[in-house]
Structure 1
């Protein structure tokens, strides 16, 4: 009996010691100054980083990337920033013409996750494909994509570094097969950093209470900031609360950054639609997600149609619609225009305002139109309206993409369950913070 009590006391002491170490680590992380990293806008001419089947079923051609170091000794990796995904992953297999890979054999701190681990058994419940046990009894994950391709490998842990701060035992996917067919993309990125609210996301594992990013244009570095962002030169942020539904619903992503869209204006004209169209229904369809891994913004059919019609009405005197029913950009953007190649600027455009609960986001000027690379009609280039119809993609959600977040300071406040934003020149913000200079 005495031996049993002694063993129990030893176990409790070990548990208390581990708890204190974890609390000390997260407290240290919370108390350190904000860590600021450059955020790059990467153009991928012929494709994109593939998205899980629960995401948008198309290949966008611009993504946001950030560079970190992983392993011991540190290896530099370039990862796509994705607030719409949970599991971070790295390419871990050498392949021809694939230089941006992480080599686990070179890292003394790399450790694969066994399939008997609680991490494998309980923290992967939100994965679209259940994890399995491979021949080596390691936790094996498959991430499926909408184009029927997939990427797979083992869950593992290693030391990630944010700036000079090491984050030991960070769980990620070490993917060794099923790479994208896009060689341009694979040669530039090492993987993806999942930033949603899932239990295995980078944000959750790091114990981060707040992070921000500021997306600049293609020629300038943006900012990714972990920690507080109280700067005198930054306008007061307007906040909208995160929407949380505890009951599992088939079409509702519970770990996404979901906000409540309540209306849309074009210039001073409010779309005359019932508010119920913007709210999730009993199945969860109709949620509004802020997603840095999606390029453009997508709306459910009735709202998209109303916005499209109003934008056409207000611009019919200054823009020439592309009359080609066979051309739908990225599978969901069917409002496009012909603009003379000789035109250096677009004509004045009405501002589109997204009205969220407690805050508004204005989309104007160059963020409303996107020049389609390589698309020429006679002496005209082709520009498309940067809102699309999510139902054409088989997606039952509103998704706010990163194109409409350009030159907007985006703050994700997990402690207070809210998202804040304010307009700012992100290139100038980067210069003030010593990023990209």
Structure 2
């Protein structure tokens, strides 16, 4: 879920890490390897966010290059395993702003594509009434009789437009036809005027929804397996497509099963990649968190989701509080607490410190590793991934010290009812989504090396 779309996509990196490069290249036959990049960007100029809203969903996003239509138009799409319907900012898109509303950058021009077709009110697509989208497609009525879509996310961004179909080309894979939202109005609160993202020259054209919903790109294209590897910083990672992967499941991967709940519950997202969190450790200390706190309750609140569309990781308060306390206890000799009780970064991160960049660099290798213990697997977070430097915040004489916050946030403070494992903590981890066997696999990896070996270039 974003905080808030061909062939089958397949694991290669763990094979490369163990010298099986030939097998990995063979697996690419009939598929493709796409560059995946974590970068600061915005979809368009944005207004200042309201209080207590998440502002960072598109500050740092995972983006992939895609070609859409005939002739192909190159677009950049945010890879989001937490969203369903893919969408593109379309020609004529406007974004609300205090001044004259600007046109969206790099918008897709449907009228220039011979394979583009907007869905009409009478089409079967517009009559779709699945259970996955909060607001299903609906008819706008005369005179246009267009089929409309309206999407909203937990970070208060929203998108409105028409339901349409066109061909998508990802890497060297054959083109596939898929439904998507052709967005004509987009509003975002993910960055403010002081964020570097607002001034970035990069701009995303849309979002590729990869969850398990009926209208996701995964479901529409019959994808049974896909994988990605995120390089730290702005280095290139990769998204791997091609082959069935049945004979290439690497034993080094640790898998955790996807959690299914058949009955509808108000706070349980049934199309998310939901896994079971069984414990949290800080260093060698397993936190005394009751199992009931880590499992969905009778309303569905408390599920754990693996989400490429959310930057950081969020824990419910009853798990966040002991994590924060134990981390502070184990780092007293390494980091000086910020000492400002009212300072909360992005409305959800209040375990913060003040230190110079040199101090943090020296301390990063001594910080206790935080492990998210899943059923059959673990996501281990250590070193530089544990701290995030807050943009624009300096302390001390001459601003010698920066402000750093622990990269685990409090879900309750952010208005969420779930645990979310964000992409910042998936860096240098090969993540495989195996829909055929209802599981997610994790393996430590060097994503930059895998990108070089597979020839994925931005």
How would you bin the TM-score normalised by the shorter chain? 0.7 to 0.9
Residue aligned with 2:281, SS: strand
Correspondence for 1:65: 63
Measured after TM superposition, the shift of residue 45 of structure 1 is 8.2
Which position in structure 1 is the counterpart of 2:449?
428
Structure 1 range deviating more: 277-286 or 142-151: 142-151
Displacement of 1:432: 1.4
Residue 246 of structure 1 aligns to a residue whose secondary structure is coil
Give, in whole Å, the separation in 2 of the partners of 1:362 and 1:342: 24
Q: Tell me whether 40-49 or 137-146 shows the greater mean CA deviation.
A: 40-49
Is 1:238 aligned with 2:277? Answer: no
Residues 240 and 155 of structure 1: CA distance in aligned 2, closer, same or farther (over 3 Å): same
Unmatched 5+ stretches in structure 2: 1-5, 11-26, 48-52, 95-101, 192-197
1:11 aligned partner: none
For residues 371 and 138 of structure 2, the distance between their equivalents in structure 1, rounded to whole angstroms, comes to: 45
- In 1, are the aligned partners of 2:42 and 2:203 still within 8 Å (CA)? no
* CA displacement 1:16-47 (0-9 Å, x = unmatched): xxxxxxxxx879x9995442100011113899
| 1: CA distance, partners of 2:157 / 2:257 | 36
Supply the distance in 1 between the matched residues of 2:333 and 2:173 (Cα, whole angstroms).
Answer: 55
- Aligned residues of 2:279 and 2:373 also touching (Cα < 8 A): yes
Give unmatched runs, 5+ long, in structure 1.
Answer: 1-24, 51-55
Whether the 8 Å contact between 1:209 and 1:227 is mirrored in structure 2 is no
Deviations 1:343-384 (A, max 9, x none): 361411001111100111211001111111221112210111
- Checking the alignment, whether the CA contact within 8 Å between 1:115 and 1:138 is kept in structure 2 is yes
8 Å CA contact 1:286, 1:398 repeated in 2: yes
TM-score, length-scaled by structure 1: 0.86
Question: Residues of 1 paired with 2:247 and 2:367: CA distance?
Answer: 31
Relative distance call for 1:393 and 1:47 in structure 2 (3 A) is farther
Provide the rounded CA distance (Å) in 2 between the counterparts of 1:391 and 1:176.
33
Question: 1:178-233, CA deviations, whole angstroms, 9 ceiling, x for partnerless residues?
Answer: 34376657961100000000011011111111000000022311010124569999
The corresponding residue for 1:405 is 426
Residues 1:118 and 2:124 aligned together: yes
How do residues 21-420 of structure 1 correspond to structure 2 at under 5 angstroms? 32-44=29-41, 57-60=54-57, 61-94=59-92, 96=102, 98-122=104-128, 124-134=130-140, 135=142, 136-146=144-154, 150-180=158-188, 184=199, 188-227=203-242, 236-343=252-359, 345-347=361-363, 348-378=366-396, 379-420=400-441
Please state how far the C-alpha of 1:93 moved relative to its aligned partner.
2.7
What is the rounded CA distance, in whole Å, between the counterparts of 1:46 and 1:189 in structure 2? 5
Tell me by how many angstroms 1:130 deviates: 3.8
Distance 1:48 1:428 in 2: 35
> What is the rounded CA distance, in whole Å, between the counterparts of 1:58 and 1:124 in structure 2?
30
Moved more, 395-404 or 109-118: 109-118
Give the number of equivalent residue pairs.
408
Larger-Rg structure: 1
Question: What is the alpha-carbon distance in structure 1 between the residues aligned to residue 7 and residue 374 of structure 2?
Answer: 32
Q: Between the two structures, name the one with larger relative contact order (CA 8 Å, sep ≥ 6).
A: 2
Report if aligned partners of 1:72, 1:109 keep a CA contact under 8 Å in 2: yes
Instruction: For 1:325 and 1:197, locate their aligned partners in 2 and report how far apart those are by CA, in whole Å.
Output: 40
**Cα distance, 1:49 vs structure 2:** 9.6
Does structure 1 conserve the Cα–Cα contact (< 8 Å) formed by 2:277 and 2:304?
yes
Aligned-pair CA distance for 1:68: 0.6
Residue 115 of structure 1 and its aligned partner are, at CA, apart by 2.2
Contact 2:39 2:234 in 1 (8 A): no
SS of 1:115 mapped into structure 2: coil
Q: Does the residue aligned with 1:391 lie in a helix, a strand or coil?
A: coil
Give the TM-score normalised by the residue count of structure 2: 0.83
Using a 3 Å threshold, how does the CA distance of structure 1 residues 85 and 233 change in structure 2: closer, same or farther?
closer
Distance 1:162 1:303 in 2: 39
- Secondary structure at 1:63's aligned position in 2? strand
Report the alpha carbon displacement of residue 118 of structure 1 after superposing the two structures with TM.
2.5
